[in-house]
Amino acid sequence: MAKLYKLYYFVVLLLCFVESLCDVLCEPGFCSEFRQETGCGRTAPECRINNATHHGLTLASPTICNCCEFCLPTFNEGDHCSRGGPGLGTTIGRCGHGLTCVAEAGGNFCRRMTTPCHRAQDDFDRRHLTGNTGALEERPECDGKGKYGVVACVPTQTCFCQSETGERIFGEAPYLGPQTKQNMHCRCSRLHEEIKRNLGPGLRKPVVGPRCTPDGNFFPIQCLDRTCHCVDTATGVVRQGSGTTVNLDKRPMTDLVCYDASLDPYPEQHRGQPPFNYTTTCIKGIQDRVDLIEQSRDEGFNVDFYSTVTGCLPDWTQTRIAVRNRTRICVDDRGKQIGNYQAAPNTPEFNNMDCKCAHTTSIMGSSSETPVCCANGNFRRIQCRRGMCRCVDSDGRQEGLERADVTRLSCFTQNWRTC
Ligand SMILES: *[C@@H]1O[C@H](CO)[C@@H](O)[C@H](O)[C@H]1NC(C)=O
Ligand SMILES: *[C@@H]1O[C@H](CO)[C@@H](O)[C@H](O)[C@H]1NC(C)=O
Ligand SMILES: *[C@@H]1O[C@H](CO)[C@@H](O)[C@H](O)[C@H]1NC(C)=O
């Protein structure tokens, strides 16, 4: 049987391998002895103060077994900073969140980084001051390096994962307030993007990345060959403890403490006799096609993996647009048609169909304020709510100020109601 590449497991398993190595070397009691004999150096006070102006990052010191703590102060905007790092400059520390050390006439100072995300924030702030931001428009969130944060939300609708460059990627969940953002780590869907980016075009077989949940987090169970582990859904790191590992040749994954039936569309894989499985219809389909291609090659046929095998989504399901009877329809993660969204072949609606609005309404469930979609499941350019209308982009994000009078919207067209 053809093996699919399982790149990422190296990362996860390496981590726990190194951790267990450390357990052996750094026995309990080692550190207290080390601290008595060698002692720990004095660290900067900033981490202990931790107020608006004095703060730092507490790190494990680079001593053996990380027995000591170490404080790296973080500087504020406009503070002096050294460019050379420890030993070279006058101060040891680093510029805080979103700042970088810039050489100027009077020395080196921490300044806000110039990045697309910061520029988008500045643009939002400028418009906000003059009252020109929409009620459902969100200030872009940037990370410590000035890149886009992992999640963007359309308040009242859904939140979705985005890449460092601000492009929407796999992973969406209903917006239930600020906690939705905190629960969406999108590390699994970002890892998929990274794997995709790093695969050379010469690769002969499709790559199966880690399995994600529809919100872009890690599926709580990840398997390497026939062994399944419980993992942290935010980080993907293997969890330790009893009931966190099974061998599918003997036991089903329902025996795992982290098994969650609500996340599992294929319960039949765990019934009956071993060997048990961990797969989905989409992944199984790819595997079968790969097997077929390998067999054809062995028999001397010239077949191309690229044109023959297309992938599954990061949650191991089919894409959300299906073709039935040559017509495109929008489907949910279980392959069931959403509403009556469809597009006939050879129409513009067929070619630009993305089903994003259909999917958003399906995720929002019975909520009364679902967006209005076009017949092909895309977002209608104009959305109205509580007597006010606004322009939205293809992801449903508000663009500019809302108006009571639709004709005053920049995206207004005569046929706005029907897309
Ligand atoms: C933070 O703590 C330092 C040292 O205790 C103090 O000098 C400074 O004024 C404090 N800043 C704020 C904003 O409270
Ligand atoms: C798991 O898959 C194998 C190979 O496809 C199959 O023979 C076996 O019956 C499956 N096990 C279960 C419990 O469905
Ligand atoms: C497919 O489309 C044709 C022509 O529109 C129609 O006659 C037929 O019933 C359709 N088949 C299915 C399964 O929907």
Longest dimension (CA), the chain: 81
Ligand 1: centre distance to CA 24 (Å): 43
Q: Are 110 and 95 in contact (CB under 8 A)?
A: yes
pLDDT(248) > 80: yes
For the residues 313-323, what does the mean pLDDT come to? 91
pLDDT(185) > 80: yes
Rounded-to-integer distance, Cα 354 and Cα 204, Å: 29
What amino acid is encoded at 208 in this protein? V
Helix (H) or strand (E) holding 45: none
Which residue has better confidence, 183 or 11?
183
Which residue has better confidence, 200 or 390?
390
Paired tokens of 360: 């958003």
Paired tokens of 408: 């005053």
State what percent of residues in the chain have pLDDT above 70.
Answer: 88
* Per-residue pLDDT band at 305 (split at 50, 70, 90): low
The tens digit of pLDDT for each residue in 50-99 reads: 888 888 888 877 677 778 888 888 899 998 887 554 444 445 788 888 99
Q: Are 185 and 210 in contact (CB under 8 A)?
A: no
pLDDT at position 199 is: 76
Rounded-to-integer distance, Cα 101 and Cα 387, Å: 48
Is the minimum distance from the CB of 269 to ligand 2 under 6 angstroms?
A: yes
Ligand 1 atom at minimum distance from 54 CA: 1
Task: Give the mean pLDDT of the chain.
Answer: 86
Neighbours of 317 (CB within 10 A): 20
Rounded-to-integer distance, Cα 80 and Cα 390, Å: 45
Is the minimum distance from the CB of 49 to ligand 1 under 6 angstroms?
A: yes
CA 327 to mean position of chain CA atoms: 31
Neighbours of 8 (CB within 10 A): 20
Pick from 2-6, 186-190, 275-279: least confident: 2-6
pLDDT at position 5 is: 44
Pick from 84-88, 207-211, 310-314, 323-327: least confident: 84-88
Is the minimum distance from the CB of 254 to ligand 2 under 6 angstroms?
A: no
Residue 367 DSSP code: -
Ligand 1: centre distance to CA 399 (Å): 41
pLDDT(18) > 90: no
For the residues 321-346, what does the mean pLDDT come to? 93
pLDDT at position 153 is: 95
The tens digit of pLDDT for each residue in 202-240 reads: 666 677 889 999 999 999 999 988 999 999 999 999 999
Which ligand lies nearest the alpha carbon of 329?
A: 3
The tens digit of pLDDT for each residue in 256-289 reads: 999 999 999 888 889 889 999 999 988 888 888 8
The residue with tokens 């949650």 is 315
Going from the C-alpha of 140 to that of each of 11, 90, 239, the distances in angstroms are 31, 35, 33
Which ligand lies nearest the alpha carbon of 76?
A: 1
pLDDT at position 234 is: 96
The tens digit of pLDDT for each residue in 156-166 reads: 999 999 999 99
The tens digit of pLDDT for each residue in 134-149 reads: 999 999 999 999 999 9
Is the minimum distance from the CB of 267 to ligand 2 under 6 angstroms?
A: no
Length of the chain: 419
pLDDT(352) > 90: yes
The domains of the chain, with CATH numbers, are 1-30+150-309 (no CATH), 40-112 (2.10.80), 321-418 (4.10.800.10)
Which ligand lies nearest the alpha carbon of 345?
A: 3
